Structure 1
Amino acid sequence: MSEQQLPIVVIGAGPIGLAAAAHLVERGIEPLVLEAGPAAASAVREWSHVRLFSTWGEVTDPAAEKLLAPTGWVKPDEATYPTGGDWAEQYLKPLADVLGDKVRFGARVTGVSRLGRDRVVDADREQQPFTVHTLNVDGTEERITARAIIDASGTWSTPSPIGGDGLPALGERTAAERISYRVPDLKDPAVRARHAGRRIAVIGSGASAFTALAYLADLAKDAPGTHATWILRRGIGGSTFGGGEADELPARGALGLRAKAAVDEGYADAVTGFRTTAVEKNGEQLVLVAEDGRRLDPVDEVIVLTGFRPELSFLAELRLGLDERLQAPTALAPLIDPNVHSCGTVYPHGVNELSHPEQDVYLVGMKSYGRAPTFLAMTGYEQVRSIAAALAGDQEAAERVELTLPETGVCGGAGLFDEPENAEQSGGGCCATPSTLQIGIGAPATSGGC
């Protein structure tokens, strides 16, 4: 096969990976989506009980909708908010079904390289196609030759640990049976029984922490003795609970208010400036110890919601240009750096910001953000639209990307996923009157801001 006949390998059959495939098909390019899980949106299904902040009108991709239209698919009410389960079953599964054999399940990518070239070799490097190594669910290994790589594998599989230094706290691994890294599904009888009547530490300051606090407060009303200790590495300020009624994402604002109510009504206590360095066992309970020597009262369970980070080991033989702090593409990092940007504005971007020294390799979706927050599905859809245009040779279309996004009206929030809790944000207040931004690829924000 000539290089132009080789498929574009898309890693991950989540919302952004499947959208990438839809845009490639629209451009007449053959995609091959490799998904480690057994079904489309395997990661989304793991948080199927959590409701998105974005409405149906904001979480479906235009190219995907065109692909689905001939099947009789009907888009859900654009004004309603899907759960993760709704998103997976009502949109992502039908999309994967339409793509058919262009999506391969049970195929875990273990490595990507240039054919016959490790990352050191310069000779004829860009003339070589890519080779993708997979481990299949039946235990067999496979080598797939590809024209380009779009990595949409996300960050869900690599949650950040308890330790305030970004590493596991002392004793975190040995206490693993009482530590979880996901928002608990308290509708599951087994999970509910595990938390009912218990003392639970919730570590984190983003949307997932808010969700957990709200869920636990509801549980406490039915199961006396349930109590949460909310642990923040930073202090509590005016923007801690989000934008409230001023948030341009109303569901997120309401969630922040529910978390605040959990504290105000006594269902949770907040502990601030606490950077965990050790987890000690105290009989059947756990004691968290901070770097300043503080020790909290024993708890029965610990829920760690401190953000996510990208898994990069299988890309080690590629020449990636990543920011040294965020692990995001070098050109993208300044637009999303939580150390600089205190407002939850998500800046549109495309192929120029997502390119690497290794030509035709792109990290997209949540993975492109590395450890940064504020990712929105519609941002990912614009990413892959731009990349598909570039791979089709339509550079003008790739660079003409425009995206209308709401300014979120809240500092440090997230659209679908959480902020890394170690981010030291420079701004203290929230954005003023929410407005709408119309921003082209590579263009600076023209209005709003803190």
Structure 2
Amino acid sequence: MLNKRVWKRLLGVEHTVLERLEAEETTAGGLLLVAYVRPDALRALRCPHCDRRCGRYDAGDGRRRWRPLDLGTVRCLLEADAPRVRCPGHGVAVAAVPWAHPGSRFTTCFEDTVAWTAAHAPFSTVTRLLRVTWRTVTGIVTRVIARATAGADRLDGLERIGIDEIAYRKGHRYLTIVVNHADGTIVWAAEGRNCATLNTFFDALGGRAAALTHVTCDGAEWIHRPVRERAPQALLCLDPFHVVKWGTDALDALRRRMAADLRRRGRAGPAAALKGTRWILIRNPGDLTGTQRTTLAGLQHTNKRLYRAYLIKEQLRQVFAARADGGRALLAGLIAWCRRCRITEFVKLGATLTRFQPLIINTLESGLSNARLEATNTHLRALTKRANGFHTPDALIAMAALTRGGLCPPLPGRL
């Protein structure tokens, strides 16, 4: 038979005395291995809050069982006494055990394995593989994240951050997310999408808000106002993707308006042809096929107004491709072009660009964007789809911190 040292390695426990092993029959006819253990002399009778050695108070509620990782196909349990201790600082509490965290009925190795697997596989796979429920997986992930963040300040050292929102459920339910541009990790997230939510972040940041140098975001005023009030020295930088999207939306609105006008005049054929140009107009020129390039060239002769709007949209893209001084000059020229183009949608675009011109210039000079945030949002949408949705925002926030916050624990036993 294997010696006790090997059995302790198999069970994933340390500072533990293995008393004996017993096999039990389950009601389903399976086999259950029960290991009777106790903390060794070094770890016995310690406070679960401060880890202080304390005097025994009473036997508590008797013996308890904890779930370790399975041994092959056989389920295992650890069984031990759960006495209570009297701590001078925390009063009477159930004594800590070296194989599990306070309040958990699973060993530390088991919880770390569940958290790692949840970060890399669907919950349905985790529940099937480790024989736990969805609710148990969510509770374990929440506890693992709480332990990982207990002794660390994730808001320390922030200089360049990005702020965005993501819908986590139907009915306009949003999370506000803050990402550190230095490493791309999520440093803060909370339910809501308004000034009050973002002010909660700045309350947690405190005086360290003075160290912020750049904040990337879209054109939402609920982001701009708190940043100006709480970190006035930070440069607000508009995300290039959102700015270019303004131009793309204006171009598409013009195309739809022109197609509707043609239909009202009974010209169904030209209206249908114009409707089919949507993707040709909004795609990057380098991604167009030969047929699409031919169609676009035809628009230059058959629909000069739409083609002129297309060129304005393309110049907006080139503003961010040029960067710095070149982009600044292109932006000024683009705004002037929008003002005199006499196309309603682009006159409005010119007014919007004029309003946000200082923020766009900040983007050109810093070279920052919300690309990391958009990648994070895409990842969180995939997480939500993989989990078939989350009932509470806290569950999604915990998964976001696990997978995109750098808090995923390593698999136990791996070097």
Q: TM-score range by the shorter chain?
A: under 0.3
TM-score normalised to the size of structure 2?
Answer: 0.25
Q: Which has the higher contact order (CA 8 A, sep 6+)?
A: 1
Larger radius of gyration: 2
TM-score for both structures, normalised by structure 1 = 0.24
